[in-house]
Amino acid sequence: MRRAYLDCNATTPIRKEARAALLEHLDAVWGNPSSVHSFGHRARMAIESARESVAALLGAEPRDVVLTSGGTEANNLAIYGVARAAAPEARRIVSSAFEHPSVDRVLHDLESRGFEVVRVRPDASGRVDARAMVEAAEPRRTALVTLMLANNETGTVQPVDEVAKALRGTGIPIHCDAAQGAGRIPVDVSRIGADLLSVAAHKMGGPQGIGALVVRQGLRVEPHLRGGGQELNRRPGTESVALAAAFGAAAEAARTGLGSEAARIAALRERLERGVALMGVGARVNGAASPRLPNTTSLYLPGVVAESLVCALDLEGVAVSAGSACSAGTARRSATLLAMGLAEEAAASIRISLGPMTTEEDVEAFLGVLPKVLERTSARTAHGVRSPS
């Protein structure tokens, strides 16, 4: 059975450039980057080269890029680090109501420690109102504003730049979780206006287990871990040279192919959405009225149970998701869609996310098996599900 992988927002297959860099550095560059001898120097040069590639993708200065174990650690370091460094009277954090769990669960923990968290709900189109975010961020009382660049379930792009522009000069730091956007749409930390920006290598064709946090020069961030002085004293621990090199290679490949790759993937997504619409099953795309990532579709299919549909599609060789991989494995409704006010859709929507390795054949495979899978998993057989030919 040919298998189609359409869950790239959970993780992407590793790019050939990243795999080659990973294997090369595992075999040949194994010194400790903090050692002063030639082996350590070679490892240090590999780390710094990777840092430069990541910085180039994000429009950042290499000196501002802190390597982490992934997007989750980057988000934790940003939020805890700024909260701990904030003035005593700054006990408010402003966020959206549908952030990734690696942000939202940190905010819940800070609430238990006396912080006030204001969560601004998105509208039904999946976009947060920038004015509401700004109005909630009272100067001197607010330690941080954190807003994702693009939602991991719907792909809707958020107005981080508008929020940052409105708050410029207030002294309130802006954190942006850009894990889903980096490598898929242009991301320039200066243009966005974020003081902190988090990314994960495995969302852009790099390896799992490494990410980065961009920290604006001069911003005080208390380390979340204690140990050595690596990563400018912000993230202790011996760096993984091979993972860093692979991350750098993935970032470089994503940067150089960004325009053509995004256009190709967007065309595949349009074919997929059009094909499902032609089936006549009452499907809708959640967040279709908002700007979206070119690779992401949140598809509402009335009358189905999302988890059952995901399992049925997997049996037919097609991998999709019922929402965030970090909250999967349960029968809960999508917190993202609930935050958007889409209660019915929250239990009957699947996420389809494409990537650099996605082909036309993958999309056609999904469209080919969906009608018969819907017949087995829904009560709408009598409605005459049609093939999208």
Same domain, 323 and 375: yes
Question: CATH number, domain at 152?
Answer: 3.40.640.10
Please check whether residues 301 and 206 belong to one and the same domain. Answer: no
CATH number of the domain that 343 lies in? 3.90.1150.10
- Any idea how long the chain is? 389
Q: Is 73 found in the same domain as 62? A: yes
Q: Is residue 151 one of the residues assigned to a domain?
A: yes
**388 is a domain residue:** no
Tell which of 235, 256, 277 closes a domain.
256
Nearest to 245 by CA among 24, 13, 11: 24
The type of residue at 148 is M
Q: Does one domain contain both 125 and 245?
A: yes
Per-residue confidence (pLDDT) for residue 231, from 0 to 100: 85
The answer as to whether 64 is a domain residue is: yes
**How do strand 65-68 and strand 296-300 relate by DSSP bridges?**
unpaired
| Phi-psi map region of 232: left, alpha, beta (phi>0 left; psi -120 to 50 alpha) | left
Structure tokens at 55: 């910085």
Residue where a domain stops, chosen among 215, 238, 256: 256
**Within a domain: residue 347?**
yes
Name the percent of the chain in helix, strand, coil, to the closest 5. 45, 15, 40
Query: Among 70, 126, 123, 124, which residue's Cα sits nearest to residue 101?
Result: 70
Residue 39 resides in a domain: yes
Do 36 and 133 lie in one domain? The reply is yes
Tell me, yes or no, whether 299 lies in a domain: yes
Could you tell me if 162 and 210 lie in one domain?
yes
Please check whether residues 77 and 217 belong to one and the same domain.
Answer: yes
Expressed as residue numbers, the domain containing 289 is 4-12+258-383
pLDDT of residue 279: 96
233 and 273 part of one domain: no
Assess if residue 247 is contained within a domain: yes
Closest CA to 372 of 305, 309, 319: 309
pTM above 0.85, yes or no: yes
Q: How far is CA 33 from CA 18, 63, 212, 229, 235, in A?
A: 20, 16, 17, 12, 14
C-alpha span between 244 and 222 (Å, rounded): 23
Which of 256, 289, 304 is the last residue in one of the domains?
256
Per-10-residue mean pLDDT of the chain, 389 residues long, equals 93 98 96 94 96 98 97 98 96 98 98 98 98 97 98 98 97 98 97 98 98 97 87 87 98 96 98 97 97 98 94 97 60 87 96 97 97 80 46
Q: Are residues 59 and 146 in the same domain?
A: yes
CA distance 150 to 155: 5
Crossing angle of helices 258-277/241-256, nearest 10°?
A: 70
Is residue 389 in a domain?
no
Task: For residue 80, give Cα distances in angstroms to 69, 99, 105, 160.
Answer: 16, 16, 11, 20
Q: Are residues 119 and 267 in the same domain?
A: no
* 176 part of the active site: no
Give the chain's domain count.
2
* Residues 301 and 239 reside in one and the same domain: no
Q: Are residues 29 and 87 located together in one domain of the fold?
A: yes
